[in-house]
Each structure stands twice: as C-alpha cells, then as structure tokens.
Amino acid sequence: MNMKGKTAVAVGAMLATVVLLATGCASMQTTDWNGHHIDEVIKKFGTPTRVLPAADGGKMYVWETERSVANPAWSGGGSVSAQEQRWKTVRTFWVRPDGIISTFNIQD
C-alpha cells in the first residue's frame, strides 16, 4: 500500500473513532433523570465513586469513570502502532432528602 493509501486508512480509522465516541457520549445522556429515585441510577451505574452531603439536607452522588480507546497509527515503514486516547466521564446527581433527583450533570 502506498503512502496515500495508508494515510486514507489512518484518517478513516480516526473518523470512525470520532463517530463511535460521539455516539457513545450521546447515548449516555438519553435519560432525563430529573424526578427519578437515585436507586434507579445506582442500579444502572453501580456504586457511586463518592457521596457528599448537600446544603439542603440531600446528597450529591458522583460517578467517575476513566476510559480509553486505542487508535491505530501508521509509521513510515508501514507498521501499525497504537496511540491511546484517555478521558474521564463524571456523572453528578443532586438528590433531595427523599431520594428524588433534582438535577444532574454528565461530563464526557
């Protein structure tokens, strides 16, 4: 394969990765959690990373997840090496004393 072909393959792989990442991020926030009980979120995401008291007597639940994806990279000699991209997802839910979610934020 010539250099133009290798470049096209590498660009195609990067575009596919971007599309997959964008799709994954969009699917994470499809649920409007406002008004739901925090137990539903715990059932979906598991045990939170931390739970902090809130000023109104409720609690703030936080899930932190580190993710990574390996992207192929072409070297001049035609070999493939992996470049890893890492990012952190933080899901924060503010919950009233009765366990109902008042607001939430998901950062990718």
Report the range of poorest mean pLDDT among 39-48, 82-91, 95-104: 82-91
Looking up tokens 């739901």 gives 36
Q: Is 28 within 8 Å of 41 (Cβ atoms)?
A: no
Strands across the sheet containing 50-53: 50-53, 59-74, 80-95, 101-107
- Look at 19-23, 62-66, 85-89 and tell me which has the smallest mean pLDDT: 19-23
70 confidence band (pLDDT: 50, 70, 90):
confident
Residue 94 has pLDDT above 60, yes or no: yes
Residue 34 has pLDDT above 90, yes or no: yes
Query: Which position has the higher pLDDT, 103 or 78?
Result: 103
Q: Where are the beta strands (DSSP E) in 1-108?
A: 50-53, 59-74, 80-95, 101-107
How is domain 3-107 classified at the architecture level of CATH? 2-Layer Sandwich (3.30)
Is 25's pLDDT higher than 90?
no
Question: In the predicted model, what is the mean pLDDT of the chain?
Answer: 77
Contact of 59 with 50, CB cutoff 8 Å: no
What stretches of 29-101 show up as alpha helix (H) in DSSP?
38-45
| pLDDT band per the 50, 70, 90 thresholds, residue 5 | low
